[in-house]
Amino acid sequence: MQDASFHAQVVVPAEATATGQRFVVRVSNFGMLAVMALENPGVHGDEEFRAR
């Protein structure tokens, strides 16, 4: 959800998951939309910028 506002974000720590990976759920302000990501949605690392 780039450049979109969101109502809430829930971070589930790796210790609480069966896979050992944390995940993030964001709920949009606009309708019934949610995004689940294994990393921080909207946060870009140096590797992504170098690849462009």
Tell me the pLDDT band of 31, cut-offs 50, 70 and 90: confident
Q: Are 24 and 11 in contact (CB under 8 A)?
A: yes
CA 43 to chain centre: 8
Tokens found for residue 9: 């974000």
Tell me the pLDDT band of 1, cut-offs 50, 70 and 90: very low
Averaged pLDDT, 11-29? 91
3-class secondary structure per residue, the chain: CCCCCEEEEEEECHHHCCCCCCEEEEEECCCCCEEEECCCCCCCCHHHHHHC
